Amino acid sequence: MKLNFYWEENQSTDSLDIFSHPTNQKQVSKIKELFNQTILLIEPNNNRKKVIPIDEIESIISLGHLSKVILINQENYFYDKRLKELHYLEKLHFNQINQSTIINLNEISSFQAEKHARLELITKTNQHYIVSRHYTKQLKERLLCLTH
């Protein structure tokens, strides 16, 4: 399938128009799913479930049998899955940075080298995360791919 991109000054900044032949509906729906990914999280105060867009997640931290999800507005939620079950998020710009943390690559503002071949990530919300040496090479490669 060929993709054509056109840039219009009068186009609204909060919308994206996609035109396609009806025979391409299946492929276009896959693209739509990528943009509309959501996740069902549990509020820690009252155990209510809330649907959150995946791109609002800053990090996911393992708590054993469930995970703590930190949003970009620093709200905390629980997710009833372990980190091992969340590898599907890698295709949505998430990356595991140590045994207990997955981070949204789009939320990283900078990183710096630390002792023992580790990295320290700093997010747009000024949160600091340590990348273990085991995940450092893979993370650098993914960050390089995002910038190109």
Mean pLDDT calculated for residue range 74-84: 93
Q: What is the pLDDT at residue 35?
A: 67
130 near 98, Cβ under 8 Å? yes
With 0.85 as the threshold, say if the pTM is over it. Answer: no
Other C-beta atoms closer than 10 Å to the C-beta of 136 total 17
The 10s digit of each residue's pLDDT in 19-72 is 888 888 888 877 776 666 889 999 999 999 999 999 899 999 999 899 999 999
Half-sphere exposure of 41 (CA within 13 A, CB side): 21
Cα dihedral 32, 96, 100, 131, rounded to 10, equals -140
Report which of 56, 74, 64 is spatially closest to residue 125, judged by C-alpha positions. Answer: 74
97 vs 80: CA distance, rounded Å: 20
The 10s digit of each residue's pLDDT in 93-115 is 899 999 999 999 999 998 888 88
**Radius of gyration from C-alpha coordinates of the chain:** 18
Amino acid of residue 142: R
**How far is CA 2 from its chain centroid?**
27
Other C-beta atoms closer than 10 Å to the C-beta of 103 total 26
